[in-house]
Amino acid sequence: MNKDRVEGAVKEGAGSVKEGVGKAFGDKKMEVEGKIKKTEGKVQNTVGKAEDAVKDASERAKHRV
């Protein structure tokens, strides 16, 4: 697991909390900010997964040679 996956998960969690607080207090701006943060986290996590997949494929290829 790389840095992007960890940071992405943290952003996603923080965004979910912010979104929930915004909903609870009827603060649409905070709710939208939370959704944006959550989406940023999902994207960053996906990038990290892709990087890990490339790294794993590269390692497997090295061992086959």
Q: Where are the domains of the chain?
A: 3-64
Tokens of 6: 């960890």
What pLDDT is recorded for position 62?
86
Does the pLDDT at position 65 exceed 90? Answer: no
What per-residue confidence (pLDDT) applies to 55? 93
pLDDT class of 13 with cuts at 50, 70, 90: very high
pLDDT of residue 4: 95
| Whole-prediction pTM | 0.83
Q: How confident is the model at residue 1 (pLDDT cuts 50, 70, 90)?
A: confident
Exposed e or buried b per residue across 14-39, where buried means at least 16 C-beta atoms within 10 angstroms of its C-beta? ebeebbeebeeeeeeebbeebeebbe
Tokens of residue 18, six digits: 């912010």
Nearest to 4 by CA among 36, 37, 39, 52: 52
